[in-house]
Amino acid sequence: MGGMIETLLRGNRKFRGEYAADERDFLERLASGGQSPDALYIGCSDSRVVPELLTSSSPGELFVLRNIANLVPVFNDPDSSVGAAIEYAVVHLHVPHIIVCGHYGCGGVKAALEGLDKERGLPSLFEWLSEVRAAAENVDPALEPETRWRRAVEESVVFQLGNLPTYPAVASALAAGKLRLHGWVYDLHTCSLSVYDVNKHAFVPASALIPGA
Residues assigned a catalytic role: 44, 46, 48, 103, 106
User: What count of Cα atoms within 13 Å lies in the side-chain half-sphere of residue 23?
Assistant: 13
Residues forming contacts to Zn ion in the complex (CB under 5 A) are: 44, 46, 106
Identity of the residue, 75 or 149, whose beta carbon is nearer to Zn ion in the bound complex: 149
Task: Report the nearest approach of Zn ion to the CB of residue 20 (Å).
Answer: 30
User: Rounded to the nearest whole angstrom, what is the least distance from the CB of residue 105 to Zn ion in the complex?
Assistant: 7
* Closest distance of CB 109 from Zn ion, Å: 7
Nearer CB in complex with Zn ion: 31/188: 188
To Zn ion, the closest distance from the beta carbon of 71 in angstroms equals: 10
Please give the Cα distance from 44 to 172 (Å, whole number): 26
Name which of 46 and 155 has its Cβ closer to Zn ion: 46
136 versus 179: smaller Cβ distance to Zn ion: 136
